[in-house]
Amino acid sequence: MITGYMHPGYAESLAQFGTPRRLPRSSGWILVRQIPGSDQQLYLDLEEMGDELVSLAVVADPFGHHRASCLHECFKDVVIPFKEHFVIDLKRSVDTFVCTHHRRYARKALRNLYVERCDEPEIDFESTDRAIKIILKKL
């Protein structure tokens, strides 16, 4: 089962920012965007692209087993950590990894939310897209 950043649906959900293009060797995705005035197309994975690209921004899969040295070798000009991801064992008590004031905020928020537990959740991109648009309007 393909999940997270590797799922085709995740890449498709970002299509408003560029055309999703799968990188078959790494099972990752990039978003191809046209530079105004340019009709250059991308045909092959990173190694085969050579000097064709003007710019490439990549967010690596946080669960991928990437070594920093490998990322620096692949992207020689700039590698900038995007953000830290934390993985927790959900079998542990929430008290062991969520601080007191965050638990208090969560209890307060739950008074105004309806949370539905799904035994077999499927990605609902339409609902997610609607939610993101509502949040962006409020920013």
**What is the Cα–Cα distance from 31 to 108, expressed in whole angstroms?**
38
Whole-model pTM? 0.37
- Model confidence at 37: pLDDT above 50: no
Residue 38: pLDDT band with limits 50, 70, 90: very low
Task: Determine whether 29 is exposed, middle or buried from the number of CB atoms within 10 Å of its CB (0-12, 13-18, 19+).
Answer: buried
Residue pLDDT, tens place only, 111-125: 988 888 777 767 677
Task: Determine whether 133 is exposed, middle or buried from the number of CB atoms within 10 Å of its CB (0-12, 13-18, 19+).
Answer: exposed
Residue pLDDT, tens place only, 71-87: 777 777 888 887 777 78
